[in-house]
Amino acid sequence: MFKKLFGSSEPKEEKVLPWIPLTSLDQLQEIAEKSKGKTQLIFKHSTRCGISRMVMNQFIASYDLETEADLYYLDLLSYRDVSNEVGYKFQVMHQSPQLLIIKNGIVTTHASHGAINDMDLK
C-alpha cells in the first residue's frame, strides 16, 4: 500500500535517447544529405528555459526507440550560430523548444513547445 502511495524507494531506470550532439555548421549539410536515405530529427533546446526542459522530458519519455531516424540535440544557447543557420538552411522560423523532421533535404514537419509531443514520428 505504501509503495502505491509514496512510490518505490528503488531508483527508476532513466531512459537515454540516442542523441547526436549538433555542434557545428558542417553537420547541417551532412544532415541534409543523410535525410535522403533516413529521416533526420533536430531537437532544439534552451538549457535555461523551464518550459523547454519540461517538453524535452516529455519527449524523452514518449520517444519510441524503434523510430527509424537519427536524432540530433542542439543546445541553442551554446551553439547560437548553428541554431541560426538551422533556420536559414531549412527555412523554419526559430522557436524553442522546437523539433524539426527532415526528409530529402527539407523540413517536412516542425513543431514547438507542447505541440512537439503531439507529433506522430512514425
| All cell numbers assigned to 21 | 550532439
Q: Report yes or no: 2 and 62 within 8 Å, Cβ to Cβ.
A: no
The C-alpha angle 12, 18, 23, rounded to 5 degrees, equals 125
Query: How confident is the model over 14-46, as pLDDT tens digits?
Result: 788 999 999 999 999 999 999 999 999 999 999
Instruction: Look at residue 2 and tell me if it is in a domain.
Output: no
Whole-number pLDDT of residue 108: 94
Domain of 30: which CATH number? Answer: 3.40.30.10
Q: What is the DSSP string of 83-111?
A: HHHHHHHHT----SSEEEEEETTEEEEEE
Give the helix/strand (H/E) hosting 71: strand 69-75
Find the domain containing 25 and state its range.
Answer: 17-118
Q: Report yes or no: 20 and 43 within 8 Å, Cβ to Cβ.
A: no
In this prediction the pTM is: 0.85
